Amino acid sequence: MVKEKPTTAYILSLIAGILILLGGGMGTYTGMMGGTYSGFYGMMGGRHMMGNYGMMGFPGWGFGMGFGVLGLILGLIIIFGAIMLDSKPKEHKTWGTIILIFSILSIFGGMGGFGLGALLGIIGGALAISWSPK
């Protein structure tokens, strides 16, 4: 007997988590290097908002670093949710809700997985919630 699983929701959510993880990694890298994503470089005439030492007083810890780390965390949570969705399909509403919520939050951290990650995560989460075995 083959168990039914929300395969489409799983695949979309897994791809979304990977994209968000990559977006978070890029944000973290850019934040450490002091690039334009890491703060208000052109707008305020300096790196980050507090000179070369960013918001937290440490070199490289500007906005980009914080949002990048947030993206890494959100991406990992979405990947974990996708794996749990595949391994425990009876709990599809719970894991779908987690994927959906953290995909929406990824817009604020991890650049939403370049936009595509957030979109795929929202679709994957919604599919997981609405899925029903035949």
**Nearest of 92, 98, 108, 91 to residue 77 by alpha carbon:** 98
Write down the mean pLDDT value for the chain.
80
Residue type, 129: I
Q: According to the model, what pLDDT value does residue 109 have?
A: 78
| 3-class state of residue 25 by DSSP | helix
Mean pLDDT within 76-92: 97
pLDDT tens string 6-45: 999 999 999 999 999 998 888 776 655 554 444 444 444 4
Sequential DSSP letters for 72-124: HHHHHHHHHHHHHHHH-GGGHHHHHHHHHHHHHHTTTSGGGGTTHHHHHHHHH
Q: What tokens were used for 35?
A: 């690039």
pTM of the model: 0.77
**For a pLDDT cut of 90, what percent of the chain falls above it?**
54
Mean pLDDT within 58-84: 82
